[in-house]
Chains A and B, each alone.
Chain A
Amino acid sequence: MAHEVEAHEGDRSYVPSPGLAVAVQDPVKVPGLPPHRERMTDKDPKKMNGAVRAVYTLFYLSLAGSIWAIAAYMLFPIEDGQIASIRANNLYIGLGIALALLALGVGAIHWSKAIMSDKEHIEYRHPTRGRDSTRAAAVQAFADANEESGFGRRTMIRGSLFAALVASIVPGIVLFRGLAPQSTPANPEAGDPVALLNHTMWKKGMRLAHDPSGEPIKASDVTLGSAVHVIPEELAKLSHEEGYLDEKAKAIVLLMRLRPEQLPAETNNLDWAYNGIVAYSKVCTHVGCPVALYEQQTHHLLCPCHQSQFDVANGAAVIFGPAARPLPQLPITVDDEGYLIAQDDFNEPVGPSFWERH
């Protein structure tokens, strides 16, 4: 603390800070504080009494808020199955706690502003650089510690300490690596994110099914103007532990039926459609939101996140917005019983661009 006194000795005119790189020759004079103005509470004892009353009233109000919060906890219990009771419970406990904290804070600030001394006080900064003796003492402390512990001399101890420190991090890295999906001989793609992103659950012959029931869909069920939300039939049999959501996130499909003449052969792959029924991935090619806002008169699909629009009558081409590619089309046909089936997986990765897909 010695240096602080040192810097403030004598008059309080400008002293160049030892921390400055460039010495300032002609500094601007500090204008100083404005003249002190007395508060009403200093001039009028009645006002002072009023302020005191206001502060303790606020503190008592805070006390009442806390007591009310406890009372509300007992008066408005959360009854099982009653949403209205949760609402009342939250509201009244919340009001009590809010009053308790707000009144406490407002009271404390009013106290400091109106009642506590308001004399101006300047606290000067001390210079940033320590005195040479302090700095030398700090260096000496490190040198002494090195000498006494033998850290620099006893190389075996030092080396083994570094080895132990480095090794102590390794188990964490290994354990975290274990959380990532691993390839196995039976499933060589499981640990490869690119392979995972390139394929979905769809494969040749898999039936299209309703989301979430898993009921397969007949081609005759899909009437003009309808939009059917589709999952692979086998997805409905997966449990959450078996990756239901991971697979669903990639495999969701929207099924629509248009009049065959509304699907011109130049812009649509009619081999992948069946009698005007088309199936497109529901994952936006921009950042992967579900594109499902289908307008049955314009045949436009809108993504709600960033307003990309796709024209279903035109191979789901992008007609507006930030999406870079058309929605991938699922090639479909029907089986012997009239159910819609996939001809194959999507022929391109679904969803947004990633590091090997631009």
Chain B
Amino acid sequence: MAREKKHRANGRRSPWAAAALIGIGLLITGGAYAGASAAMAATDESASVKTALTVDDGKKLFQANCATCHGLDLQGTSNGPSLFGVGELSVHFQVSTGRMPLQMQGPQAPQKPVQFTDEQIAAIGAYVQETSPGPSFPSDEVLDGKGDVAHGAELFRINCAMCHNVAAAGGALTEGKYAPSLEHTSALNMYAAMVTGPQNMPVFNDLNITLEEKRDIISSLLWLQQNQSPGGYGLGNLGPVSEGLFIWIFGIGTLIAITVWITAKAN
């Protein structure tokens, strides 16, 4: 107690004051952010429409939301490519992951919150498919995740892992482009990406990777999503970067702390 009083008399703060201030600040910011995002989620929900939409509705949605860049008749403009032959699968991939409508021109369209309901996405897809057919939805069997997981993992390592990372955690490409993480990608979007080759991803058509092989790859990715890593906490599965950073800061930090404690004289 005597020590405490002395500190106050000196007008000094406790050494814990800075840490406490930072902690309180973080709590307030985090709380405000959580509240704000909950409020936004609530408004999003009220906007959803639960009715079956037709091709005509899809056309209207397309003209209202996509035609500025892709042209009124899918012919494309100087701001966006033509959509002839891209098909409904591509529409589903781009719109259901939030990549389209595009936020801004840049090296790569980022994923962001989805702007349309499932019905609206299907309607836009149906309109694009009717105007200029392209790749379409696969049978449910391809997406059921019951293929050969080991064979799928081998194909993934040969064809996909160099960009998407062997644990499907994603990785960097050139000049701001990147291969996204597949840790939360749906089976349909995995299939759609292989078939349509969005942005800089190469196309893997059925002659390159057969339908059965695609099923195996999807199965192995779903297996990775559904099973915990046997090696414990993955640190983002980014390999030596995150693991090295962790061991340099926390591993060596702990060793230094223990060394200081061993050599310090007892009170």
A residues near B (Cβ < 8 Å) are: 37, 39-41, 83-84, 86-87, 90-91, 109, 113-114, 118, 210-212, 218, 220-229, 256, 290, 292-298, 300, 302, 304, 307, 309, 320
Contact = CB atoms under 8 A, between A and B. Distances in A.
Contacts of A224: 203
Given A113-B266, A223-B205, A83 B199 contact: no
Contacts of B232: 87, 90-91
A296 B201 contact: yes
- Could you say which of B203, B227, B229 has the most chain A C-beta atoms within 10 Å of its C-beta? B203
Task: Please give me the 9 A-B residue pairs with the lowest Cβ-Cβ distance, nearest first.
Answer: A227-B202, A221-B207, A295-B200, A113-B266, A292-B162, A225-B203, A226-B203, A83-B230, A296-B202
Contact of B267 (A39, A86, A228, A292): A39
A118 B266 contact: yes
A211 B177 contact: no
B154 interface: yes
A302 B203 CA distance: 17
Q: A interface, by DSSP: helix, strand, loop or mixed?
A: mixed
Interface string B125-168: 00000000000000000000000000000110011001100000
A228 to B, nearest CB: 5
A36 B203 CA distance: 77
Given A226-B197, A302-B174, A210 B230 contact: no
A244 to B, nearest CB: 14
A41 B266 contact: yes
Contacts of A228: 208
B197 A295 contact: no
A227 B207 CA distance: 11
Contact of B266 (A39, A222, A309): A39
A293 B162 contact: yes
A47 to B, nearest CB: 9
Nearest to A51: B266
Contacts of B154: 212
Interface string B100-117: 000000000000000000
Contacts of A114: 266
Contact of A300 (B171, B174, B179, B267): B174
Contacts of A222: 207-208
Contact of A229 (B159, B227, B228): B159
B41 interface: no
B173 A40 contact: no
B204 interface: yes
Nearest to B202: A227
A309 B158 contact: no
Interface string B227-261: 11111100000000000000000000000000001
Contacts of A37: 265
B202 A226 contact: yes
Contact of B158 (A221, A225, A229, A304): A229
A55 to B, nearest CB: 12
Contacts of B17: none
A295 B177 contact: yes
Contacts of B200: 295-298
- Could you say which of A40, A211, A223, A290 has the most chain B C-beta atoms within 10 Å of its C-beta? A223
A298 to B, nearest CB: 7
B205 A87 contact: no
B262 interface: yes
A261 to B, nearest CB: 17
B162 A304 contact: yes
Nearest to B200: A295
Contacts of B177: 295
A294 B202 contact: yes
Contacts of B205: 221, 223, 226
